[in-house]
Structure 1
Amino acid sequence: MSPNSPAAFSHASFHGHLGIARADITPPVGIYSRNWGAAEHDTASTIHRPLTLTALTLAATANGEPLVLLDADLGWWKTPHTFQQFFTRLLDALELKPHQLLFALSHTHAGPPLMEPDETLPGSELLKTWMEQLFEASVHVVREALRTAFPGTLDWQTGRCGLATMRDFPEPNTDSDRMVCGFNPDAKADDTLHVGRITDTDANLRATLVNYACHPTTLAWDNTAISPDYIGAMRDTMQQTTHVPALFLLGACGDLAPRYQYVGDTEVADRHGRQLAFAALATLEDMEPPGTELTYTGTVESGAPLAVWQHTKRVGSDALKAVTHEVSVPIKNWPTADELERERLACTDRALEERLRRKRDIRQGIGDGSTFALPIYAWRVGDAVIVGCCGEAYSYLQQELRTRFPQHTVICMNLLNGSIGYLPPADLYDVDVYPVWQTPFDRGSLELTLETMTQAIQHVLSD
């Protein structure tokens, strides 16, 4: 055996105290749920699958400072102000510091927007009650997860899934250079899938986690049902097999979406969810037994010299560290929020009016300055790192971070602690493409974010 050859194979692992709790946060039928400019309806008429909220708590010891991750089947916050109010209340109620709490969105496009009630919108009167119920559910699940925490291990394994495809597509049969949002058969998508396995000290499976980058845009303007999109069937399929909760952690999917999407048929979303679930279950089955690593124990001379690998005991790392960094990203020279509102009120096109409404809300949230202090969150969880921000980064971000930290499992996430705009690569700013003209962030913002995330990961990995 070469002295540089590995003597053991093990999963990225964390050993400590973990808690899991879940609540149903499905809103009532009739609530305002318009998420598509092309939609002809404003309110939900039925429920496809329930929306859930799941808390995962992590602590190095039974009495150690916890880190709390909330996995919510929700789309996006209409304004940074709405999120900040919600987040501040949650921190106060739970007596947590900002670095201890990550509120993650699955980014379904078939749920109610996270917004303040607006009496001009049908079904908006139901939002106030539902948003308060969401807050109460968030407090409850965190407290329950902390109360029922147990000593255990979180292991990670990497797999592949072909659900996601590149969604920046040069518009065919035109003389323009416009890119439209849809399947690009000539581009290769990042198919990386990370699966987490939580077990207790008796090696019983207690929960699974799925980190994957793919826009939940199966269901679109023709859909009138409340739905978690593909995440619902993914979660249910996994839970039917494992009999434990499954959490979903959305990856850097700014340029990734299903090949077939924008439909009203919920069975298509379910099919997509089963595809991801089967890939995740296969990855789960590929893992070494809990609490072990595969160790080279010697060579047996037979018809061939046979390398013998056996499972030996391994205790995961108890390292747990959280930091928050900020990166100053450039802001485009947009009109003010008041100017955008006047433009919206004068607009008679339904789809364009919705675009202006969203642009106004973003402008109100980021202010009228030329830069924005974008928060970056990084957690070290044993041998793995969870990193993300409130933007919708392109998949280049997660691919580059994994290249820079090959010895660690890097769980990259979009839409953490808020939601503002896309983070496309600098060269796309020369192209007519939706994520570029939607985002308030100017050229170079993704690259600045990448460097700050790199620094944040180095920070949490340092002693």
Structure 2
Amino acid sequence: MTELGARLAVPRTDAPVGVARRDITPPTGIRAKNWGPADWERSEGAHRPFTATALAVGADPLVLVALDGTWWRRVDDERAVRGRVRELLGIAEERLVIALSHTHAGAVLCSADAGLPGGELIPGYLDALAEAIASAAREAVDTAAPGHIDWTAGRCALAADRELDIEGRALVGYNPDATEADDTVVVGRITAADGGTVGTVVNYACHPTTLAWQNRLVSPDYVGAMRELVEAETGAPVLFLQGASGELAPRRQYTGELDVADRHGRALGYAVLSALALLPAPGTELELSGVVESGAPLGMWTEAPQAPATTIAAARSAVELELNDLPTLDDLERSWADIDPRSRQERLGRARNLRDGYIDGPTVEHPLWAWRLGDALLVAHPGEAYSAFQTGVRGDLEGNPVLVLNLANGPGFVYLPTDEAYRRGAYQAWQTPLAPGSLGRVTAAASGLLCDLLDGGAR
């Protein structure tokens, strides 16, 4: 039974916080061919700016960088960029997470493509990217001051299931017969000690695949308009973190119409603003403070100061995963002999990159990063897990907001599909090197790692 004095807590993080941003818009002419059907290879301009936004949390800081970018196609490129950032910051492996938005309308992040049209600009862009990330992170660390993050959740219907079967063939497209997709938006309001907003964290799972081969501009896809809307209202930078979206995407996608991407972004932006509007004042929670007699007895919930949540911790681990029996590149070339040559070369290029650095034995070590941010938790991994990853982890850690990040600190070409996706022959299942059961093992390991962080320190 609820009694007078009962509290409705707002999950929070109390620590020094700093936020900084750099512009990382790719140069016009850079290679941006991310779709097989594209009959062009160089970008012709930019739809919206690309940004690298850094958040530093804690006295011995954890650094989170949200990056507009496609996906790392080679292990060595990602390691080189993150290694350079770590070197410039002097930060431990477990305390840095660089998360890509996964826009499919960005520059190709692959130095091996330097010999292709537009590829000559890639090495310089990767160098500039490392410097920009490090610069933003350094500023965030140096300007960090006492503050806190209040956490909440909203709902957005942008993401939908993209597991479509037509005449016995598994396609990647909106499936109107599927059950509802996970629509959770985790939102963090970052405020200074005086209550002023200094940033907003947005964690949502939906492939940025609105814009496809018809569009010749680099674009952050829906993330750009979402960011513009929320930043105009709050006056502070947004960090967008891509969730576990392996099978989630907008209903309408694969278009060249920029306004469709912007409409998608505004839909997510309004969901974020709605969640923010319902938060109480920074550092407070709701208290059942009294009863007022009116025509009815009225229970009065009012804002009251909340106890701080100051524990900051980080861990890194890895899960050993079994591999599928992979066909040779010659086998793949023969099996794809009848498809469009441009699409065939795109698929073969991805297969080559997969075998260069990620696979070096009969199993792979799939890394996980786990953070505790006061009441909130974060888990990040490379690759593209299906949404069962985030729903499973959040279910295991019910009571704590959990940020779940795909495409962080590693190559983004490795799917972790459900066992059902393997049975239906989904693209994500035949493309991945990982054997069935991998998603369940990673989910269990992530939940265990987060539980250990919770057990290691009191609120």
Give the shorter-chain TM-score range.
Answer: over 0.9
Kept in 1, the 8 Å contact 2:150–2:283? The answer is no
User: By how many angstroms is 1:338 displaced?
Assistant: 8.5
Mean Cα deviation higher: 450-459 or 77-86:
77-86
Give 1:420's aligned residue.
Answer: 413
Residues 120-163 of structure 1: per-residue CA shift (max 9 Å, x gap): 31011111111111111111111111111111011111110111
Give 2:200's aligned residue.
Answer: 208
Kept in 1, the 8 Å contact 2:114–2:121? The answer is no
Give 1:313's aligned residue.
Answer: 305
Kept in 2, the 8 Å contact 1:296–1:307? The answer is yes
What one-letter code is carried by the residue in structure 2 that aligns with 1:244?
Answer: A
Pairs within 5 Å for 1:247-396? 247-335=239-327, 349-396=341-388
What one-letter code is carried by the residue in structure 2 that aligns with 1:52?
Answer: T
Kept in 2, the 8 Å contact 1:426–1:447? The answer is no
Structure 2: state its 5+ residue gaps.
Answer: none
Kept in 1, the 8 Å contact 2:82–2:130? The answer is no
Paired with 1:139 and 1:403, the residues of 2 have a C-alpha distance of 35
Paired residues, number: 454
- Equivalent of residue 185 in structure 1, options 172, 176, 181: 176
Residues 234-284 of structure 1: per-residue CA shift (max 9 Å, x gap): 001111111111110111111110011110011110111111101100111
Change (3 A) 1:122 1:24: same
Give 2:20's aligned residue.
Answer: 21
- Equivalent of residue 157 in structure 2, options 154, 162, 166: 162
Give 2:85's aligned residue.
Answer: 90
- Equivalent of residue 128 in structure 1, options 123, 141, 145: 123
- Equivalent of residue 432 in structure 1, options 413, 417, 425: 425
What one-letter code is carried by the residue in structure 2 that aligns with 1:369?
Answer: G
The 3-state SS of whatever aligns with 1:215 is: coil
TM-score between the two structures when normalised by the length of structure 2:
0.95
The 3-state SS of whatever aligns with 2:443 is: helix
Paired with 2:418 and 2:199, the residues of 1 have a C-alpha distance of 35
Moved over 6 A (4+): 337-348
What one-letter code is carried by the residue in structure 2 that aligns with 1:284?
Answer: L
Paired with 1:164 and 1:75, the residues of 2 have a C-alpha distance of 18
Mean Cα deviation higher: 446-455 or 336-345:
336-345
Paired with 2:338 and 2:85, the residues of 1 have a C-alpha distance of 38
Structure 1: state its 5+ residue gaps.
Answer: none
Residues 20-46 of structure 1: per-residue CA shift (max 9 Å, x gap): 110001111111111011111111012
Paired with 2:144 and 2:87, the residues of 1 have a C-alpha distance of 21
Kept in 2, the 8 Å contact 1:385–1:409? The answer is yes
Give 1:50's aligned residue.
Answer: 49
Paired with 1:88 and 1:342, the residues of 2 have a C-alpha distance of 38
Paired with 1:345 and 1:91, the residues of 2 have a C-alpha distance of 43
The 3-state SS of whatever aligns with 1:380 is: strand
Mean Cα deviation higher: 284-293 or 418-427:
418-427
Mean Cα deviation higher: 308-317 or 268-277:
308-317
RMSD, aligned CA:
2.0
The 3-state SS of whatever aligns with 2:171 is: strand
Give 2:443's aligned residue.
Answer: 450
Residues 411-453 of structure 1: per-residue CA shift (max 9 Å, x gap): 1110110123111112221112111111111101000101100
User: By how many angstroms is 1:119 displaced?
Assistant: 4.3
The 3-state SS of whatever aligns with 2:357 is: helix
User: By how many angstroms is 1:183 displaced?
Assistant: 0.9
User: By how many angstroms is 1:367 displaced?
Assistant: 2.3
What one-letter code is carried by the residue in structure 1 that aligns with 2:417?
Answer: P
TM-score between the two structures when normalised by the length of structure 1:
0.94
Give 1:398's aligned residue.
Answer: 390
Kept in 2, the 8 Å contact 1:220–1:264? The answer is yes
User: By how many angstroms is 1:407 displaced?
Assistant: 1.1
Paired with 1:386 and 1:170, the residues of 2 have a C-alpha distance of 34
The 3-state SS of whatever aligns with 2:252 is: coil
